[in-house]
Amino acid sequence: MKRIKMGCTTLSIPAMALGIMRMNQKSVPEAQVAIQAAYDAGINFIDSADIYGGGKSEEIFGQAFSQMQIKREEMFIQSKTGIVPGKRYDFSKEHILHSVDEILERMQLDYLDSLVLHRPDALMDPEEVAEAFDQLQAAGKVRFFGVSNFDTAQFKLLQSCLSQRLMFNQLQFSLKHTGMIDFGMHMNMVDKPSVDRDSQFLDYARLHKVTVQAWSPFQYGMFEGTFIDNDGFPKLNQELQKLADKYEVDKNAIAAAWILRHPANIQMLVGSMNPQHIRDSAKGAKIRLTRQEWYDLYLAAGNYLP
């Protein structure tokens, strides 16, 4: 498994993480198989959130992991908080602290390696968040911190009040969600791709050594479905298959390799609970697409160059 540096640190993390959003749909033994498949493929980074499965995903993970032979210190375990489903976003100190205690209890852990704030809260008080982070770190409950779906100004605002460096920003990025790179290639144009909807965060991340975590790497839309083997995307699947045949892998590996080819050292979140899918996707970390192959896929996905 390809390894990358985490944020501004010298710590090494895998270029892929296992997202456990769907672990609530699995039994404990099935969850163990998925975790082991990821671990054996070099994916020793877990990404969760307190809302996944209404907390059930973390409960299943906790039960599964506690019975496995993998040592806690061999895993990097991350969770997210800040969404109160159907009601509000909540970055209050009280909510953050209470959520972390509940996460640790569900996952049967003494600490989280990373806590990520899950989508921006319009009522965020950066100084209040800073108090929560300081308290969590001082108590040994959280080692590192990050955010999810923050634009550059939101990220800089929060960072200005923190004593810790933010390590991560989770952003949607895939062959069918390319806004973060479209506008750069369409600079000085007046067409639709020239619109910057992501406040140049990818460039900011590279300048300030922030690790971008790409979610939904095989999805189109937000959660409409996968573009892999989807009849609605014949040209893209034809190109994926062509390269899959060349590199002797499956299409998931090629779609993953496309993300990891970007020089920003992006970490990709694999959300599957299918052990074979996990193993197949992990193979993408061993492939370095040529520049032409990368652009061929970009164009086959329905993008165009000015």
pLDDT averaged over every residue in the chain:
97
Whether 96 maps to a domain, the answer reads yes
Q: Which domain holds residue 247?
A: 3-300
Whether 124 maps to a domain, the answer reads yes
Whether 9 maps to a domain, the answer reads yes
Residue 224 has pLDDT above 90, yes or no: no
* pLDDT of the residue at 241: 98
In CATH, what number is assigned to the domain containing residue 82? 3.20.20.100
150 neighbors 276 (Cβ within 8 angstroms) = no
128 vs 223, residue with greater confidence: 128
Calculate what percentage of the chain has a pLDDT beyond 70: 100
Whether 306 maps to a domain, the answer reads no
Whether 305 maps to a domain, the answer reads no
Residue 222 has pLDDT above 80, yes or no: no
Cα-Cα-Cα-Cα dihedral sign, residues 219, 276, 75, 96? positive
- When pLDDT is cut at 50, 70 and 90, the band that residue 276 belongs to is very high
Total residue count of the chain as it appears in this document: 306
pLDDT digits (tens, 9 = 90+) for 141-173: 999 999 999 999 999 999 999 999 999 999 999
Total tally of structural domains belonging to the chain: 1
Pairing of strands 16-19, 267-270: parallel
pLDDT digits (tens, 9 = 90+) for 106-151: 999 999 999 999 999 999 999 999 999 999 999 999 999 999 999 9
How many angstroms separate the CA atoms of 141 and 62, rounded?
16
